[in-house]
Homo-oligomer: A and B are copies of this chain.
Amino acid sequence: MRVFSGSKFGVDVEEVVLPNGKRKRVEKVTHPGSVVIMANFEGKIVLEKQFRPVIGKWIFELPAGTIDEGESPEQAAIRELREETGLVSSDLKKLLDFYPSPGISNEIMHVFLANNCEKGDQALEDYEVIELVPLEREQILSMIREGKIEDGKTIASLLYFFYMSESLQ
């Protein structure tokens, strides 16, 4: 049963049968999925310092956004990168997928590496309050170590990229 329809997510309450045969009432945030982009611009990774009204503070995040209806994750990544940072890349590579909150939400995040980025035009929405911060690997690792990066998708994506995949081209 749909109990809330918002512009960013919905909420559904359903009864499901578990693998052990028990029935359970499940409250679920229904989300179309999102993309996260690690943009390599002149050898640095572009972070955003962004005001997040939901937590009432500025935090460092990788560029990210919700997948629009009819869009592929790749298309959403190219669009969000251009809108939020003004960067354009035709060299996109999938890094990993994960669920940020699988206990309550079906949102899946698709993380891309965007190499060979070039400057285009930033096109922020009115409500987006974002400063761009290009950083080197060692700066980013210090910030994670010191607790200055507080966004889960950003920590997971950056550490995966630095330690689990090839390094920057």
By a beta-carbon cutoff of 8 Å, the part of chain A in contact with chain B is: 3-4, 6-9, 11, 13, 16, 18-20, 22, 24, 26-29, 31, 34, 51-55, 58-59, 61, 64, 96-109, 126-127, 129, 141, 144-145, 147, 149-153, 155-156, 159-160, 162-164
Contacts and interface: CB of A to CB of B under 8 A. Distances in A.
A86 to B, nearest CB: 18
Contact of A55 (B11, B51, B102, B150): B102
24 contacts: A6-B11, A8-B104, A9-B27, A9-B104, A16-B53, A18-B51, A19-B58, A19-B129, A24-B127, A28-B54, A29-B105, A34-B103, A54-B104, A55-B102, A96-B147, A96-B155, A97-B147, A99-B150, A101-B101, A101-B105, A102-B151, A155-B159, A159-B159, A159-B163
Contacts of A150: 97-99, 102
Contacts of A3: 4
Mostly helix, strand, loop or mixed at chain A's interface? mixed
B160 A155 contact: yes
Give 8 closest A-B pairs by Cβ, nearest first. A159-B159, A156-B156, A6-B27, A100-B152, A155-B156, A98-B152, A24-B127, A100-B100
Contacts of A28: 54
Contacts of A99: 52, 55, 59, 150-152
Interface centre among A24, A103, A144 (most CB of B within 10 A): A103
A35 to B, nearest CB: 12
